[in-house]
């Protein structure tokens, strides 16, 4: 999920206004409400290492499928 993190919305005492759009570095206070927004499929496809991720997933899938056949 960290790879696909886009931004978060925070409601509570740690934000200047409700909701506030924040990044990964934002420090939360007790009882803050957090909504995580992940990247869309198109945003993920534009990432530099997207092809590597897809290939790794495909290889893992093939290996698992091959193990089930034997």
- What does the domain layout of the chain look like in residue ranges? 1-38, 42-70
CATH of domain 1-38: 3.10.20.30
Looking at the DSSP bridge assignments, the partners of residue 8 are 22, 36
pLDDT at 57: 92
How much is the pTM? 0.66
pLDDT value at residue 49: 87
Given this model, what pLDDT does residue 11 score? Answer: 97
Task: Say what the pLDDT of residue 59 is.
Answer: 94
What is the per-residue pLDDT for 58? Answer: 95
Residues 6+ apart with CB under 8 A from 35: 8, 9, 10, 19
Question: What tens-digit pLDDT sequence spans the chain (70 residues)?
Answer: 777 899 999 999 999 999 999 999 999 999 999 999 998 888 888 888 888 989 999 999 999 988 887 6
């Amino acid at each position: 999920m960290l790879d696909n993190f886009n931004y978060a919305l925070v409601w509570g005492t740690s934000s200047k206004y409700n909701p506030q759009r924040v990044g990964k570095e934002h420090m939360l206070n007790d009882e803050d409400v957090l909504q995580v927004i992940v990247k869309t499929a198109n945003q993920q496809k534009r990432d530099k290492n997207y092809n590597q991720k897809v290939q790794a997933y495909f290889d893992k899938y093939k290996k698992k499928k091959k193990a089930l056949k034997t």
